[in-house]
Amino acid sequence: MCQAKKVFDVSIKDAERILEAYEHMKSIPDLGRDPEELKRAALIMSLTAWETYVEDKISEEVELQTKVLQGSQIGHFITAHWKKN
């Protein structure tokens, strides 16, 4: 399994825990309101986990595909420009 997937799995569990807390809190009658902010927080965390996964996966693939170029001028160029962005 790639490192990007491992990081994603850990990150998405945080969003799942927030949703579990939301489900628990919305069933509390004394709360008096629906804790909508927890749903929004879970959505933001899910999107952030996905964005990080995509960025990490692309970085892994670029590194893998350019491995044979390491040490060459083109390899240095790709590394310098990829890491900048």
What pLDDT sits at residue 85?
A: 54
Residue 60 and residue 3 in contact, taking contact as beta carbons nearer than 8 Å: yes
Rounded to an integer, what distance in angstroms lies between the CA atom of residue 61 and that of residue 66? 8
Helices assigned H by DSSP within 1-85: 3-26, 36-65, 73-84
- Mapped onto helix, strand or coil, the DSSP state of residue 2 is coil
| This prediction's pTM | 0.76
What pLDDT sits at residue 83?
A: 66
What pLDDT sits at residue 2?
A: 86
Amino acid at the residue 23 = E
User: What residue spans define the domains of the chain?
Assistant: 3-84
Could you tell me the mean pLDDT of each successive run of 10 residues in the chain, 85 residues long? 90 94 86 85 95 92 84 83 65
What pLDDT sits at residue 21?
A: 93
